Structure 1
Amino acid sequence: MASIICVGAQWGDEGKGKIIDFLTESADLVVRSQGGNNAGHTVIVGKTTHVLHMVPSGILHKGKVCIIGNGVVLDPISLVGEIEGLRRRGIKVTPKNLMISELAHVVLPYHRELDAARESRAGARKIGTTKRGIGPAYSDKASRTGIRMCELVQPEVFRERLGRKLREANAQLRASGARPLPSRTIERDYLAAADTLRPFVTNTVLHLHAALQARKEILFEGAQGTFLDIDFGTYPYVTSSNTVAGGASTGSGVPPHRMDRVLGVLKAYTTRVGEGPFVTEDPAIGDLLHGMGREFGSTTGRARRCGWFDAVACRYSTILNGIDGLAVTNLDGLDTLGTVRICTAYRLDGRRIDTPPADAAQLARCQPVYEELPGWCTPTTGARTFGALPPKARAYLRRLAALTGAPLRFVSVGPARDQTIVV
């Protein structure tokens, strides 16, 4: 039995969905423990592309149990749409293979409106959120005024909680110059979603405990990435949950001592979406990747900002998460380059540093210190073993692993399942 946490080691969009999909072959349960439908995990099966926002990637495999944990903030209407979309594609989704924590908090329309209003007011200082209401939903959770799934599925309780909360939210919306929201429409739509989701809502802690007792293989699917963590990320340009490995315990109810391994997923280069400092950002890399039709957000469609591999950030990510294995994705994105660069240190106000500064303004002033390696100028997409990769590509990967401080376990050279190399 092993409990494996799969965590994004950069700013999200590292290809976790594909790696989770690959690892699910040997797992019994796949657990999502934080975030909401601001995440988007893309998995390609044959000729079909699936983009999953809340349902764990394990749903694409027969015989696997997927759990949406207590740490997730859940948009019920969006989730119902996602379930229906999967069913239309012939994928079985029932209460036997998908369970939703009764403790997960609900994202409501006023959360989305407040999210958009805050971004609009912030102007040039905006965070660059997806405007899906994730931050305001977590704010309600922290202020103990949120509505949970166990309340949504009780109509009378939900009506009472919604009425009280909507009065408060509408006052905030009016103060922001936005229109107040009607309670009747929200009540109708959300209770309809509750009717669909009620059979899925359960005490997931007990199911996970039973799985541990039965020595089942459990895979924890992270959303976003380490440097979007509310505590350890590039604050305030972060999400509203704990995206580091520790969040898998608090967001699922599985104790820390029952976790066995942490797999860090990272790209062979660096990307981020939204605002915030990005030391290795290079528009030329962005132009190259966007020209290939790559690096557009699966949730928002926004073009991602792109740059060279940042070993300073990834080394710190290894420390924060306790990463003991790496999965490097998108190696093929660098196949045409004659020279590749790795950031091995920063210069801040003339001083060399080896750890990202906590202050975002200081991080924005950092300049990258690069090490250059020869490119391989050979397609890697057909490689199925590590030895089949070009020697210079293997040298690059070994250098990434050495600088990051964890052994290389997997390499992805394309979006398909069979384009994943076990090292």
Structure 2
Amino acid sequence: MPALVLLGAQWGDEGKGKATDLLGGSVDYVVRYQGGNNAGHTVVVGDQKYALHLLPSGILSPGCTPVIGNGVVVDPSVLLSELSGLNERGVDTSKLLISGNAHIITPYNVTVDKVTERFLGKRKIGTTGRGIGPTYADKINRVGIRVQDLYDESILTQKVEAALDAKNQMLTKLYNRRAIAVEQVVGELLGYADKLAPYVADTVLVLNEALEQDKVVLFEGGQGTLLDIDHGTYPFVTSSNPTAGGACTGAGVGPTKISRVIGILKAYTTRVGAGPFPTELFDEDGEALRRIGGERGVTTGRDRRCGWFDAVIARYATRVNGLTDFFLTKLDVLTGWEQIPVCVAYEIDGKRVEELPYSQSDFHHAKPVYEMLPGWSEDISKAKSFSDLPKNAQAYVKALEEMSGAPISAIGVGPGRDETIEINSFL
């Protein structure tokens, strides 16, 4: 059963959109299985650049059916705006499917996200303020609104009332904000029902039937492994499971149907938002990586924090996801450095540690132990095969592969769709 999971092996922003798009022509379904419009993918097709925030990258591949799974939280206004923007650019979006079990980001979820993050002050998590966390909290607290609720006004009203009973108490008494009217929220949500109706489906049934028919299904995670709610750098994480296990729960397929798990690695490391980052650079090298790599969040617009490649977190990602392959992106950004540091271990309280510490305190105090690898100055953007790369670039890739614990099967040497070296086929 050709089911593949494609996910970020660092803190997100590794270039998952490029990897998904590379496979798109050979894939029948591309499924987003978690997250919301706090994750963004940039896909470059020819001279056209597309910024996708909620839609699966496969929406740009003709013949591919893009699916928003039950594990995703959906902001209807953002989704409809994104669809409209693609339609205006001539992209066919009619094949999109949305799970009726996916949860809706309501206006009060966005309000709660913004006021609570502001209230935290210096202790803030660094959320995007788009209501993602509060929506997942409502889901767990069983007061969430699902896409299917838009088609039963009575149920929708009851659920909004139940959610606002507690939230209005918090908003008015704790944060000194105005109460939110039930009727206003219900009216706004009902306004999306007809526009979303053509896309709503039983996606669990659709995907399992597709796999039984030997269709190729690609499950696409947002964010990255180190932002996973269970396996990331808690509490500086997202509110869902971008790791491989999240594909099963977030799309409704069993783990025995997953045949390959592909981790996306950037040739260096970046992070958006607060939280520990052992290899972060605050010097000219960090600024150069940011400038050359165009390191600005697709969804947030925030500059990404930049650092050298961290083999410790790459090994961790291999372990917790059961990775079978890596796709190494942005190797071209490292062109021009005489030597390139790679973090091979941490120093914690004077001791060398080669695996990710389970203790939050230890990770906060981890100092990178670097190994220096020789760099290269040649332009690699036109390379079509591994042998086309300069010897030092080849050695860098091989060293990262050995340190990370899974084969590197593809290498990105530029932002374009065709600027990829494919070493081993993913299919």
TM bin (shorter chain): over 0.9
Distance 2:261 2:322 in 1: 6
2:242 aligned partner, one-letter code: T
Quote the offset at 1:2 in angstroms: 0.8
Percent identity of equivalent pairs:
49
Structure 2 counterpart of 1:415: 415
TM-score, scaled relative to structure 2: 0.96
Structure 1 counterpart of 2:19: 19
Structure 2 counterpart of 1:81: 81
Structure 1 counterpart of 2:245: 246
Q: Which runs of 5+ in 2 are unaligned?
A: none
- Greater Cα offset, 163-172 or 299-308: 163-172
Quote the offset at 1:108 in angstroms: 0.8
Distance 1:25 1:253 in 2: 24
- The SS at the match of 2:244 is coil
Distance 2:322 2:65 in 1: 26
Deviations 1:381-418 (A, max 9, x none): 12121111111001000100000000110000111100
Matches within 5 A, 1:94-133: 94=94, 97-133=95-131
Structure 2 counterpart of 1:364: 364
Quote the offset at 1:251 in angstroms: 0.4
Structure 2 counterpart of 1:275: 274
Quote the offset at 1:146 in angstroms: 0.6
Matches within 5 A, 1:123-202: 123-174=121-172, 175-202=174-201
- The SS at the match of 1:326 is strand
Pair 1:8-2:8 in alignment: yes
C-alpha contact 1:229 1:238 (8 A) present in aligned 2: yes
State the aligned residue count.
421
Deviations 1:309-353 (A, max 9, x none): 000010011000011111000111111111101111111001111
Deviations 1:160-219 (A, max 9, x none): 322332232222212222333344443333212121001211111110111011110010
Distance 1:358 1:136 in 2: 26
- Greater Cα offset, 180-189 or 260-269: 180-189
C-alpha contact 1:25 1:61 (8 A) present in aligned 2: yes
C-alpha contact 1:276 1:360 (8 A) present in aligned 2: no
- The SS at the match of 2:265 is strand
2:300 aligned partner, one-letter code: T
1:150 aligned partner, one-letter code: Q
Deviations 1:136-163 (A, max 9, x none): 1111111111111111232332223223
C-alpha contact 2:401 2:408 (8 A) present in aligned 1: yes
TM-score, scaled relative to structure 1: 0.97
C-alpha contact 2:293 2:333 (8 A) present in aligned 1: no
Deviations 1:348-372 (A, max 9, x none): 0011111112233221111111100
Matches within 5 A, 1:205-244: 205-244=204-243
- The SS at the match of 1:418 is coil
- The SS at the match of 1:251 is helix
Structure 2 counterpart of 1:304: 304
Structure 1 counterpart of 2:264: 265
C-alpha contact 1:77 1:189 (8 A) present in aligned 2: no
- The SS at the match of 2:207 is helix
- The SS at the match of 1:400 is helix
Deviations 1:225-273 (A, max 9, x none): 0000000100000000011101000100110000000001010000000
C-alpha contact 1:7 1:243 (8 A) present in aligned 2: yes
Pair 1:93-2:96 in alignment: no
- Greater Cα offset, 74-83 or 224-233: 74-83
Quote the offset at 1:59 in angstroms: 0.7
Distance 1:337 1:183 in 2: 58
- Greater Cα offset, 369-378 or 359-368: 359-368
Structure 2 counterpart of 1:68: 68
- The SS at the match of 2:343 is strand
- The SS at the match of 1:283 is coil
- The SS at the match of 1:344 is strand
- The SS at the match of 2:340 is strand
- The SS at the match of 1:54 is coil
- Greater Cα offset, 236-245 or 112-121: 112-121
- The SS at the match of 2:410 is strand
- The SS at the match of 1:347 is strand
Distance 1:340 1:57 in 2: 32
Distance 1:286 1:172 in 2: 41
Cα RMSD for the two superposed structures: 1.2
- The SS at the match of 2:93 is coil
- The SS at the match of 1:341 is strand
Distance 1:121 1:361 in 2: 24
Distance 1:178 1:359, change over 3 A: farther
Distance 1:368 1:290 in 2: 20
1:130 aligned partner, one-letter code: T
- The SS at the match of 2:49 is strand
C-alpha contact 2:25 2:63 (8 A) present in aligned 1: no
Distance 2:106 2:410 in 1: 39
